[in-house]
Amino acid sequence: MPIPPQAVVLHRSARRNVDIDGFAAARGLAIVAYVDAGCVEQPTAFGGVPVVSFAAWCKGLREIPSIVTAVDPAERRALAERIAAAGGAFATLGRSGGAVSPTVRFGAGTLVGDGPLSINRSTTFGRHVLIATPASVGHDCAVGDFVTIHPSAAISGYVTIEDDVVIGVGAVIVNGLSSKTLRVGRGARIETGAVVTKSVPAGAIIVGNPGRPVRS
């Protein structure tokens, strides 16, 4: 079939996914297929777009850039690694202009929502980061791979977010300093509405205001 020049393939997991259909269309992107690892080899479609198995993607759609829409970092990582192992490449749907500094850098496969967004200077995002808007990220921050930032989250300057972290709806991370970066360790979860004012160990679950760990 003819492939539009600005095409993407969306890989979905069995659990909750980001709905970016309208977002993609607004950016002039044509979604040519949805890939469902559990799909059987029977013709099916969603909104007129074919839903295909991973095997069918490998045979005919592997050259088209992919976006992984799983919300959970572990699921997103597993899908991305499977795609990469099969020789696939990734689209990067970041943002530029407005309140997003031109010095901001987005890694491959990162997906940023189209709502209000502020990201200050010298901030970098790793691979396959998901930023659901509205959101605010300060200056001189480093966000690792497979991080999920839910709507209305706010991160101050001089904060490092390690891989696989989940930042919940309305969560706030503040008090990063140039002399002492605030660090959120790998795999930590900052729950809805939590306020983080000091570094968080890897794997911790933080709740409340002020934030406190409930489990590591």
Q: Give 81-130 pLDDT, tens digit per residue.
A: 999 999 999 999 888 888 999 999 999 999 998 889 999 999 999 999 99
Across the strands, what pairs with 68?
11
pTM of the predicted structure, to 2 decimals:
0.91
Based on the residue annotation, tell me whether 139 is a catalytic residue of this protein: yes
| Mean pLDDT score, 21-46 | 75
Its CATH architecture, for the domain 7-85, is 3-Layer(aba) Sandwich (3.40)
- Return the C-alpha torsion angle 74, 76, 80, 82, nearest 10: 60
CA distance 97 to 116: 12
Question: CA angle 128-2-33, nearest 5°?
Answer: 40
The yes-or-no answer to whether 7-85 and 111-206 have a common fold is: no
Q: Please, are residues 39 and 50 in contact by the beta-carbon 8 Å criterion?
A: no
Domain segments of the chain as ranges: 7-85, 111-206
More confident residue, 6 or 181: 181
pLDDT, mean of residues 167-183 = 95
In CATH, what class is 111-206? mainly beta
Supply the pLDDT for residue 19.
74
Region 164-171 average pLDDT:
98
Mean residue pLDDT of the chain comes to 89
Catalytic residue among 11, 128, 139, 150: 139
**How would you classify the pairing of strands 124-125 and 142-143?**
parallel
Structure confidence at residue 15 (pLDDT)? 67
